[in-house]
Amino acid sequence: MGEPKNNVREFRAPKPKPRNDMRIDAPQISGEAAAVSGIYRLEHAGKHPIQEELLVQKGICLPGCALCGEPITYPLVQAVKPISEDPDFR
């Protein structure tokens, strides 16, 4: 009969798009690498609920909407220093 199918989808993170404008105050969009570590607000035109804020480490690829696949805009709410850079935690 053949092998049973696995219903688990494989996740492959997209490679972040390089960004020319690295201003901290400029909103970023899905697919770009986070310019700084911080709390980002999620702005999305979809008619379904999504979380309002997301904590992201610098260099992580900002995701699109998991429900509809449309892009999300990410304005930075507050930059935060990663704990790995805090001398009290070294």
**Tens of each residue's pLDDT in the chain, 90 residues:** 555 555 545 545 556 555 555 566 789 999 999 999 999 999 998 788 888 999 999 999 999 988 888 899 999 999 998 888 888 887
CB 40 within 8 A of CB 53: yes
φ and ψ at residue 60, rounded to 5 degrees: -75, 140
Rounded CA separation 26/12 (Å): 27
Task: Please give the pLDDT value at position 82.
Answer: 82
